[in-house]
Amino acid sequence: MRIAYDVIGNKEKSVAILGANTKAPQKAAREIMKRHKAVKSVLRKLSDREGEFRLYQTKLLLGKRDTEIVHKEHNYLIKVDPQKVYFSPREGTERQRIANKVKQGERILIMFSGAGPYAIAIGKKHPENEIVCVDINIDAIIYAEKNVRLNKLKNIKNICGDVREIRNLGKFDRIIMPLVETAIEFLDEAVLYSKKGTIIHLYGLSKRKTAEDLEELVEEVADTYNFKYKIVGKQDVLPYAPRVRKVRLDLKIL
């Protein structure tokens, strides 16, 4: 039986998440738990990401109601409940790509930071760098604080709030915007926190791996808010939906 699903967790306890279009979901859930002894719960997505917090609505198909887990990737741990906070195990490689781009001494802002996976990935490689995270979901910030402690880091500050309403954060050397569906709508805000030479990692959706769709949107925003930039990198990250890709543009503010 071919089943498309994600597994979040570790060798002792994991949660599997099925897509909304999974056929025979109960049968699929039983099959997953047969294949993976560590999977203690199977969830099924009921919708696309929606609402203010951009979460998937889910239904417990099989197993324990307690879906809080500790996910292990690379050299760090992420505690999360996928029913409360968005987290994608598929983006572990992308998180490492970004962490490897960071330079010593940079001041970093992460918008829509969730449970803090980008911050943790960067913080483990660069414990001397100051990292500021902002997310509007209080559950995300609670888990982000847990993850800071879990990974014994001291250089990450988590702020709960709307990134458009928070002020006096100062300027940053690098800004990460991983909210793929709507990050482009906040690019003008990222520019306010930028200075000459700031690198903005902007995520978005494109029907082309070359990210031309996102490039066109960036050009429109730059014209509207009158700022200059240079594209210094592009990345085809992951499939998002049929014929739609998750992509990243690296913008340097001029």
In a domain, 102, yes or no: yes
Residue 216's pLDDT is what?
A: 93
Kindly tell me if the per-residue pLDDT of 2 is higher than 90: no
Q: Please, what is the average pLDDT of the chain?
A: 93
Half-sphere exposure of 131 (CA within 13 A, CB side): 31
**pLDDT one-digit tens code per residue, 90-120:** 999 999 999 999 999 999 999 999 999 999 9
Q: From CA 149, how far away is CA 77, in angstroms rounded? A: 10
Please, which residues have CB within 8 angstroms of residue 242's CB and are 6 or more apart in sequence? none
| Residue 133 and residue 199 in contact, taking contact as beta carbons nearer than 8 Å | no
- CA 210 to chain CA centroid, Å, is 21
Q: Which residue has the higher pLDDT, 251 or 23?
A: 251
108 shares a domain with 206: yes
| Residue 64 and residue 87 in contact, taking contact as beta carbons nearer than 8 Å | no
Host H or E run for residue 40: strand 39-45
198 shares a domain with 119: yes
126 shares a domain with 32: no
Q: From CA 109, how far away is CA 111, in angstroms rounded? A: 6
Residue 51's pLDDT is what?
A: 63
- Strands 130-135 and 156-160 turn out to be parallel
In a domain, 232, yes or no: yes
Residue 49's pLDDT is what?
A: 66
Host H or E run for residue 10: none
128 shares a domain with 37: no
Residue 106's pLDDT is what?
A: 98
126 shares a domain with 55: no
Residue 4's pLDDT is what?
A: 84
98 shares a domain with 41: no
In a domain, 171, yes or no: yes
101 shares a domain with 24: no
Q: From CA 75, how far away is CA 197, in angstroms rounded? A: 30
168 shares a domain with 202: yes
**pLDDT one-digit tens code per residue, 12-66:** 999 999 988 888 999 999 999 999 999 999 999 987 766 666 677 889 999 999 9
Q: How many structural domains does the chain have?
A: 2
pTM (predicted TM-score)? 0.93
Q: From CA 203, how far away is CA 97, in angstroms rounded? A: 13
Kindly tell me if the per-residue pLDDT of 1 is higher than 70: no
241 shares a domain with 142: yes
**Ramachandran class of 190: left when φ > 0, alpha when ψ lies in -120 to 50, beta otherwise:** alpha
Residue ranges making up the domain that contains 39: 5-67
In a domain, 10, yes or no: yes
Mean pLDDT of 167-196: 96
The CATH number linked to 40 is 3.30.300
50 shares a domain with 109: no
Q: From CA 124, how far away is CA 131, in angstroms rounded? A: 11
Kindly tell me if the per-residue pLDDT of 204 is higher than 70: yes
The CATH number linked to 237 is 3.40.50.150
Measured over the CA atoms of residue 144, residue 9, residue 244 and residue 209, the dihedral's sign is: positive
Mean pLDDT of 140-167: 96
Kindly tell me if the per-residue pLDDT of 226 is higher than 80: yes
